[in-house]
């Protein structure tokens, strides 16, 4: 037992995903029972950290939440303390409010703060560590795009939801002899589209890492149609783009940690396929459905291991680190290492090779 670990903070930053509550539980429960520590839940991510909103968690708060989606603490992707959006009479100003968060950390007498989030959260963890706060990171994102870990919790839950959707679309596409275009999340990485595309037997998989050619997409669906396969499934990542164009941006929101909000490539792909091939086409955007619902058993187990390891790092005074999965074992890496690059799909990935082997086209 580490007698210095008496008050621990937890926050969930960025977009929600299945498994967040499982992490909260696996930090808070042993912190209370094994270390006798108080656990402070910071509300609504870094927004709450800046604005001083928190509550002390009790055993009742964390009972029975391992299978519950979302986060009991709330979250936000618009509260970067170093670039905090502030409403003024002239509009929105982006200001450095990090000192507000540091003051709250001190006022709450925290010995450590465990931040659960994706790439944006880990960049913030790194900055606060440099300013002297005792921070530990837990990698969370359905996009699976954090470096220095084999997988982030939430990814396999999102792939499961997307695969189920593609399975269902197979039957309606077959019945109506249509091309069905399914757009999934993932930002600048194609992991969700690739995983769901393979598991759902998509005929075309479009990912950001492989710019596609329109003529190859048309050619593939027409070939299937002429060979007697009277329907096709296209799984497209929101960050996918043609080799002759740019990623499709739905909107810009400077309040967000990443102001670029991708979306719309699915509609574009569906429209152009129908125009150029004459095949009836429909588009489905899964969007936030991928973030909702209960985590898969795999993600519940991984999230539990991550939370336990994060608490262990805090107890050992190993700050400025992020928990990481390598093979079957959870260990840790410096946060600085984890934020060096986005983890995108390697072009020599066995997932890509196996998808091609069973007939999937990447439009290249």
Residues forming the active site: 143
At 285, which helix (H) or strand (E)?
Answer: strand 281-285
Q: 260: which strand partners?
A: 252
SS (H, E, C) 84-103: EEEEECCEEEEECCHHHHHH
Instruction: Let me know: does 92 contact 253? Beta carbons within 8 Å.
Output: no
Per DSSP, helices labelled H in 34-154 are 45-51, 59-62, 98-107, 119-130
DSSP-assigned letters across all residues of 323-358? EEEETTEEEEEEHHHHTSSB-PPPTT-HHHHHHHHT
Neighbours of 329 (CB within 10 A): 10
| Cβ-proximal residues to 205 (8 Å cutoff; 6+ apart), any chain | 190, 193, 194, 197, 198, 234, 235, 236, 355, 360, 361, 362
Instruction: Let me know: does 329 contact 150? Beta carbons within 8 Å.
Output: no
Q: How far apart are CA 261 and CA 238, in angstroms?
A: 10
DSSP-assigned letters across all residues of 210-258? S-B-HHHHHHHHHHHHHTT---EEEEEETT--BTTS---EEEE-TTSSS
Q: How far apart are CA 194 and CA 209, in angstroms?
A: 11
Let me know if 61 is exposed, middle or buried by CB neighbors in 10 A (0-12, 13-18, 19+).
middle
């Amino acid at each position: 037992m580490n007698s210095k670990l008496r008050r621990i903070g937890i926050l969930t930053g960025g977009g929600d995903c299945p498994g967040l509550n499982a992490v909260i539980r696996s930090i808070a429960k042993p912190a209370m029972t094994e270390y006798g520590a108080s656990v402070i839940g910071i509300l609504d991510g870094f927004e709450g950290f800046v604005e001083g909103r928190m509550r002390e968690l009790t055993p009742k708060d964390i009972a029975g939440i391992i299978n519950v989606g979302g986060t009991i603490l709330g979250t936000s992707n618009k509260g970067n303390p170093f670039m905090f959006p502030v409403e003024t009479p002239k509009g929105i100003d982006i200001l450095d409010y990090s000192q507000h968060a540091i003051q709250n950390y001190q006022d709450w007498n925290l010995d450590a703060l465990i931040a659960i989030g994706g790439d944006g959260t880990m960049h913030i963890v790194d900055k606060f560590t440099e300013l002297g706060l005792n921070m530990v990171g837990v990698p969370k994102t359905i996009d699976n795009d954090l470096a220095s870990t084999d997988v982030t919790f939430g990814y396999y839950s999102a792939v499961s939801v997307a695969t189920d959707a593609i399975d269902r679309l197979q039957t309606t596409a077959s019945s109506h002899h249509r091309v069905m275009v399914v757009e999934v999340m993932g930002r600048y990485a194609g992991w969700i589209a690739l995983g769901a595309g393979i598991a759902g037997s998509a005929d075309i998989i479009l990912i950001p890492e492989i710019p596609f050619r329109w003529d190859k997409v048309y050619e593939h669906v027409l070939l299937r149609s002429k060979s007697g396969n009277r329907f096709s499934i296209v799984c497209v990542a929101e960050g996918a783009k043609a080799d002759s164009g740019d990623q499709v941006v739905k909107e810009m929101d400077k309040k967000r940690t990443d102001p670029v909000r991708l979306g719309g490539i699915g509609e574009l792909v569906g429209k152009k396929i129908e125009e150029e091939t004459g095949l009836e086409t429909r588009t489905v955007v899964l969007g936030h459905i991928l973030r909702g619902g209960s985590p898969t058993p795999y993600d519940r187990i991984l999230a539990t291991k991550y939370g336990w390891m994060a608490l262990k790092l805090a107890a050992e005074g190993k700050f400025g680190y992020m928990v990481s999965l390598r093979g079957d074992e959870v260990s840790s890496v410096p946060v600085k290492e984890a934020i060096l690059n986005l983890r995108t799909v390697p072009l020599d990935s066995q997932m890509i090779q196996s998808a091609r082997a069973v007939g999937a086209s990447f439009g290249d």
